[in-house]
Amino acid sequence: MFGGFILLKICFSLCCSKVTDNAKNSLASLKRKNPRLEPTLAIIQAHNDQLIQEANKNLAKEIGLRVIHICLPEGSTKDEIVSEILRLNDDPNVQGLALDLPESLYSSKVLNAVKPEKDVDGLSSVNLGRLVHGDVCDCLVPPTVCAVMELLEDIGGKKVLLVGTHGAEGAALQSVLQRRGAAVLSCHWGAPQLQSELHHADAVVFGSMKPHGVPVSCTKPGATIINCARGPLPEKHSYGQQNNPADEKTVGSLAVAMRMQNMVKNMERWIQSQQYRKWDLHSLKLQPLSPVPSDIEISRAQSPKAVDVLAKEIGLLTDEIEIYGQTKAKVRLSLLERLRDQPDGKYVLVAGITPTPLGEGKSTVTVGLVQALTAHLNINSFACLRQPSQGPTFGVKGGAAGGGYAQVIPMEEFNLHLTGDIHAITAANNLLAAAIDARILHENTQSDKSLYNRLVPVVNGVRGFSAIQLARLRRLGINKTDPKTLTEEEISKFVRLDIDPSTITWQRVVDTNDRFLRRITVGQANTEKGFVRQAQFDIAVASEIMAILALTTSLQDMKERLGRMVVANDKKGQPVTAEDLGVTGALAVLLKDAIKPTLMQTLEGTPVFVHAGPFANIAHGNSSVLADKIALKLVGEKGFVVTEAGFGADIGMEKFFNIKCRASGLVPSVVVLVATVRALKMHGGGPNVTAGAPLKKEYTEENLQLVADGCCNLQKQIQITQLFGVPVVVALNVFKTDSPAEIDLVCKIAKESGAFDAVPCHHWSAGGKGAVKLAQAVEKAANQKNSFKYLYSLELPIVEKIRIIAQKVYGAQDIELSPAAQSQVDRYTQQGFGNLPICMAKTHLSLSHQPERKGVPTGFILPISDVRASIGAGFIYPLVGTMSTMPGLPTRPCFYDIDLDPITEQVKGLF
């Protein structure tokens, strides 16, 4: 008798060892292939049994798993447990979640709170449904059920009695037993037929502890008895014949081993889920109308996909998106880490010739190109666009969602607020502006001691430095951490920034064209104690913070850039930064959501990232590095990411290459240069083009001579592109007034001037179908030899870098710096900022500094009126001639046509 019992214990131990060894070996193999893998299982426990905790901990350690025990007090409510589950669901460092709870807490509410992908116990409805339906490959068998099946011998055709098994675990056990061919009967403890069924069953499984007072007679001789009661590790109980205890088995330790094995299986599934996923994108059909309706009518006629559907189609995971309504979502930066080993796709830049004030359709070409690539050629592609400012939307230019049958939808949401990024930038920018003036006021009105007591206050009887204050102390060379140990001299150095008000370069911003804020006076209230100074507002998208958002590569990089922003000089001529003001962390908090790109879609259901929107003639005029990097991973090695640079190639493209590509490390594959017959006629000597005014007949009737003369600007922009060693494809954005002869002439001249190809594009009227030839040309050009190079070395002096851009790109004879500009250059060089790239602030309406000079001006001297620095963004920006950082409203702004229907809540009047 005792020999049989010992044999059973040996077999049980061997079974546990086998499961443990298998899990250990499997996990070791996973770790070899994924060296940075740190699998973590979180277990929520709501009882005081240390045996279960020790069993989990010991087995996990043996296998190589990390276990976190969350020990809730006995008596915890379901809501408290669910709250803890939800917290762990959102923890990216936890890949598995298990529950050790009293039986009364295993409700559907609790079990289904666990994310299915983290459900190691396999008791959520999603997992259980797959198990019951036979989808064994897509589910995990609950550990207790695994243990029961391991302990049962061949049960095909045998009768198995389940006593006290219920809920999710009981359903899973019954399903698995039946699939193995057993005849399964279930009884509760109080069933009148219990004793009879016990006598006839070949195997009995007790799912819960026998209640007191329930008599149990002898089981069938030789029957297998398995006890898998929940709660503390079950002790040995004798439900059958006293002389046959060897047939009784408990699942305790084996169930724990099975749980660990499930965790390893979960890790295998988790690793698989992190791999790059092939796209399964379903395009939306277009039915273009003629004549082409308004942009907003076209947008509303299309029903966009739900954004979570789009996200799934392009391989995003559920926890990688944050949904804003039905049609837009933020994408988390964690995706870059998940796909870090995934090769990038091809990188395409859309630039243009020098435009008319109406714009020549770069955004429209960008959208039409990706619609053609993905919806018509079945090539993965992503458009990366800037977020439009409220300034042009309500001013003269209108929105920037593309146009006709090549636009981003819903265009109202694209053009209005989107996900609030510009508002976040406005809030951050103005917080810093307020901090500057407040600091000057407090330093002017308080002693060193008073400043110190307020800057480093006593809290709960203790005075301590914050992290950002400790960093300032280190920059000052004060290596102390105890506020009581600073000398009077050190206190004075610490508390006084000594900002020189005349050197403040940081301005307040608002995202509205408001010309009367171009010059203001601040500090006129009596409460400001006479501290009055001249200041100004810029438009929000001209803020350095917008440029930082566009150029940053990570949250940490953004914080460092924000801290480096120079806002003024002190009275000794040294730079004062946002970090000195102690505001860096607060700025980062305001921008924590804005740093994530926004996912939208085109009219044909292809993906678009909308992110950042720095002005092109003031800042560098490109969408974000992060959007491009994420998109390049998502499209795959053979896919395309198409992004756009503002205005002509002389401004947006030059800055894209020399500034953005330096920040990102990305190498462009192709440049698409957008031209229109209309703009070429203007450069050929046609009459002025004015927004809002009808076009003169020269632009609506065939005139080959004007086109030929104007192609000089196209040729110059092709030459500028060739300076960087990148193949260029000319996209002729065709208008209905363009004649076939004019179209042919432009394409002929473009190819003769060095373009890889030149293609007429009809995407505005036909959608992606009208840009298929362009897409094919871009695909071919991307396979050409690429000898990309920067225009200048960063080590060159600031003035020399400006001269290279002026002469090689704009065609200037030379440059001329004003005394103020030269003084600033000298100061920035002395301060150690001379090795930054250059971001020219210049009119977009001419290659020169004079908007009225069209074509290809030559022989001019480029005047540099001032030189400023965006140290956080990482560039020096010279102002060419007179450049306004705050646009004004025209006589008749776009807002005259914009309205809201109070019944349908639809926006009217947007382009």
Give the active site residue among 24, 118, 397, 596. Answer: 397
Instruction: Quote the tokens at residue 544.
Output: 């350095």
* Residue % of the chain over a pLDDT of 70: 93
Report the SS3 class of residue 370: helix
Over the stretch 238-282, which tens digit does the pLDDT of each residue have? 454 444 444 567 887 888 888 989 999 988 888 888 889 899 999
Q: How confident is the model at residue 469 (pLDDT cuts 50, 70, 90)?
A: very high
Report the SS3 class of residue 868: strand
Average pLDDT score over residue span 469-494: 94
- On the question of pLDDT at 53 being above 50, the answer is yes
Q: Where is pLDDT greater, at 153 or 642?
A: 642
How many whole angstroms separate alpha carbon 545 and alpha carbon 561?
Answer: 9
- On the question of pLDDT at 234 being above 70, the answer is no
Instruction: Choose the weakest-confidence range: 16-20, 510-514, 815-819, 891-895.
Output: 891-895
Instruction: Quote the tokens at residue 569.
Output: 């000089």
Give the active site residue among 364, 374, 552, 676. Answer: 364
Q: Where is pLDDT greater, at 9 or 252?
A: 252
Mean pLDDT of the chain: 90
Report the SS3 class of residue 605: coil
Is residue 896 packed enough to be buried (19+ CB in 10 Å), middle (13-18) or exposed (0-12)?
exposed
806 is known as an active-site residue: no
* Residue % of the chain over a pLDDT of 90: 63
- On the question of pLDDT at 3 being above 50, the answer is no
State residue 891's pLDDT score. 66
Q: Residue 250 phi/psi, 5° resolution?
A: -115, 150
Over the stretch 170-219, which tens digit does the pLDDT of each residue have? 889 998 999 889 999 998 888 888 888 888 899 999 888 777 766 767 78
Average pLDDT score over residue span 654-665: 97
Report the SS3 class of residue 723: coil
Instruction: Quote the tokens at residue 837.
Output: 């790239």
User: Rg of the Cα trace of the chain?
Assistant: 35
Give the active site residue among 550, 586, 616, 731. Answer: 616
State residue 192's pLDDT score. 86
Residue 475: its H or E element: helix 467-475
Show the 3-state SS of 290-308. CCCCCHHHHHHHCCCCCHH
State residue 242's pLDDT score. 42
Instruction: Choose the weakest-confidence range: 194-203, 431-440, 902-911.
Output: 902-911
State residue 897's pLDDT score. 67
State residue 470's pLDDT score. 94
How many whole angstroms separate alpha carbon 742 and alpha carbon 677?
Answer: 7
Average pLDDT score over residue span 860-872: 95
Query: How far lies 808's CA from each of 130, 716, 883, 903, in Å?
Result: 65, 10, 22, 57
State residue 5's pLDDT score. 37
State residue 237's pLDDT score. 46
State residue 536's pLDDT score. 92
362 is known as an active-site residue: yes
State residue 396's pLDDT score. 60
518 is known as an active-site residue: no
Query: How far lies 799's CA from each of 620, 661, 812, 872, 879, in Å?
Result: 19, 22, 14, 20, 13
How many whole angstroms separate alpha carbon 356 and alpha carbon 683?
Answer: 9
Over the stretch 81-92, which tens digit does the pLDDT of each residue have? 999 999 999 888
State residue 512's pLDDT score. 86
Give the active site residue among 115, 118, 330, 362. Answer: 362
State residue 14's pLDDT score. 64
364 is known as an active-site residue: yes
616 is known as an active-site residue: yes
Q: Strands, E, within 540-639: which ranges?
A: 566-569, 575-577, 598-602, 607-610
Give the active site residue among 764, 860, 875, 911. Answer: 764
Instruction: Choose the weakest-confidence range: 157-171, 314-328, 722-736.
Output: 157-171
Helices (H), 180-319: 194-200, 252-274, 295-301, 307-313
Residues 6+ apart with CB under 8 A from 331: 311, 316, 320, 321, 322, 596, 597, 598, 599, 609, 630
Instruction: Choose the weakest-confidence range: 289-293, 301-305, 514-518.
Output: 514-518
Over the stretch 392-423, which tens digit does the pLDDT of each residue have? 666 665 556 789 999 999 988 888 889 999 99
Instruction: Please give the model's pTM, rounded to 2 decimal places.
Output: 0.86
The amino acid sitting at 587 is L
735 is known as an active-site residue: yes
Give the active site residue among 386, 633, 803, 854. Answer: 386
Q: Residue 356 phi/psi, 5° resolution?
A: -80, 170
Average pLDDT score over residue span 334-360: 94
Average pLDDT score over residue span 510-528: 89
Q: How confident is the model at residue 391 (pLDDT cuts 50, 70, 90)?
A: low
Average pLDDT score over residue span 122-148: 87
Query: Strand 40-45 and strand 66-71: pairing?
Result: parallel
Give the active site residue among 279, 647, 657, 911. Answer: 647
Burial 451-483, CB ≥16 within 10 A → b, else e: bbeebbeeeeeeeebeebeebbbeeeebeeeeb
How many whole angstroms separate alpha carbon 566 and alpha carbon 579?
Answer: 9
